[in-house]
Amino acid sequence: MKIINIVGARPNLVKIAPLLRAMRRYERIEPMLVHTGQHYDKKLSDIFFHQLQINEPDFNLDVGSGSQAWQTAEVLKRIEPVLVDQRPDLVLVVGDVNSTVAGSLAAAKLGIPIAHVEAGLRSFDRSMPEEINRIVTDALADYLFVTEKSAVENLLKEGRPRERIYFVGNVMIDALEQFLPVAQESRIAEDLGLICNGSLQPFGLVTLHRPSNVDSSATLASLVRALESVADMVPLIFPVHPRTRQKLLQLGINDHAKLRLIDPLGYLEFICLLSHARIVLTDSGGVQEETTALAIPCLTLRENTERPVTVTRGTNHIVGLEFEKIRTKAREILGGNGKKGERPELWDGHAAERIMEILLKQEL
């Protein structure tokens, strides 16, 4: 069974690592990896391959950055010859980036079965490019592997056959379970000066990368003002995505006394900080899941989430973009009044194994 696995952006690498690891346990499976190059910066890509123990990709399409349409079209154009030449039994895609939908579309037009890992997640906000990617990918996929039960309901409402939907758990948590012990050996806290008299000092962690938050100067400036107000309660570490850094520089924003802007981190360094943070402020779907798994309070700087189980069962709060709401909820959490939450069902580190067991039973 030849399976071509398609990745393009940094979150894809976290999800594909446990899947490739599970595939290699079976002689019947021949896994191949295609990296579209959607994320090509060394700090956003190469270090993740190394830390997540992912072999060099079999194919690197070197697509690079561009508009939504250009990038999707370029992946589609460059991946088709690979699929034609390799003739895989299955194309496996993860997440919701442009590489996900482009790879699925190329496979569907060639009659190659598609498996979508992390299917059925919906924010119901079509202004998000990722939402369009999710909807289209799920419409094309033959195997829909979901992380939470709300995703099953979403897919059924969209008319997807029940027999194609599999509730398997969350491969992001598989990676977290595998690599957290290694991450805890990181010296990132010492490097950032967070250790004082032998003790780790309280701190919070920030991530911002969604175009809706960072492309508008007014929105970004307002969010930074809110972050600065939280940083007056607890120092915040903000690993800054390159495009976010560029926007901040255009606004003349640099370090606040207690809001530290640092370069992007590797997976292990980030997970180490995440696991020790008092509070996390983010617009990332994956970080919402990781904080829920680690029982770390999370404020999501969006008006919605495609991962509602992180709110209903986990430690996530949707606070939107309003200054006062962000500050009030942060004060509540830092005062010890945040919800405790619990791990969602099947977030146990074995999702990739379940996926392999299902695929091995299929006649591909």
98-154 pLDDT tens trace: 999 999 999 999 999 999 999 999 999 999 999 999 999 999 999 999 999 999 999
* Whole-number Å distance between alpha carbons of 333 and 186: 26
Region for 144 from its dihedrals, namely left if φ exceeds 0, alpha if ψ lies in -120 to 50, beta otherwise: beta
> H or E element: which one contains 177?
helix 171-183
pLDDT on residue 291: 98
The residue behind tokens 């979508």 is: 116
Q: What is the pLDDT of residues 171-214, one digit of tens each?
A: 999 999 999 999 999 999 999 999 998 899 999 999 998 888 99
pLDDT of residue 364: 74
The ranges of the chain with pLDDT < 70 are 39-44, 255
Q: Are 264 and 240 in contact (CB under 8 A)?
A: yes
Domains of the chain (ranges, CATH numbers): 2-169+347-360 (3.40.50.2000), 179-337 (3.40.50.2000)
- For the annotated catalytic residues, the residue numbers are 209
Residue 117 burial class via C-beta count within 10 angstroms: exposed 0-12, middle 13-18, buried 19 and up? buried
3-state secondary structure at position 163: helix
Going by their DSSP bridges, the two strands 90-94 and 2-7 should be labelled as parallel
CA–CA dist 1, 212 (Å, integer):
40
Q: What CA–CA distance (Å, rounded) separates 98 from 101?
A: 5
Helix residue ranges, H only, 114-170: 129-140, 149-157
Q: At residue 162, what are phi and psi to the nearest 5 degrees? A: -60, -35
Strands 30-35 and 59-60: parallel
CB 11, CB 95: distance < 8 Å: yes
Which pLDDT value is given to residue 46?
A: 82
Enumerate residues 6+ apart whose C-beta is below 8 A from 98.
8, 38, 68, 71, 72, 75, 129, 133
**By the 8 A CB rule, do 128 and 91 touch?**
no
Distances (CA, A) of 316 to 109, 272, 312, 340: 39, 19, 8, 10
Measured distance CA(75)–CA(68) in Å, rounded: 11
**pLDDT at residue 55, rounded to an integer:** 94
**Whole-number Å distance between alpha carbons of 11 and 307:** 15
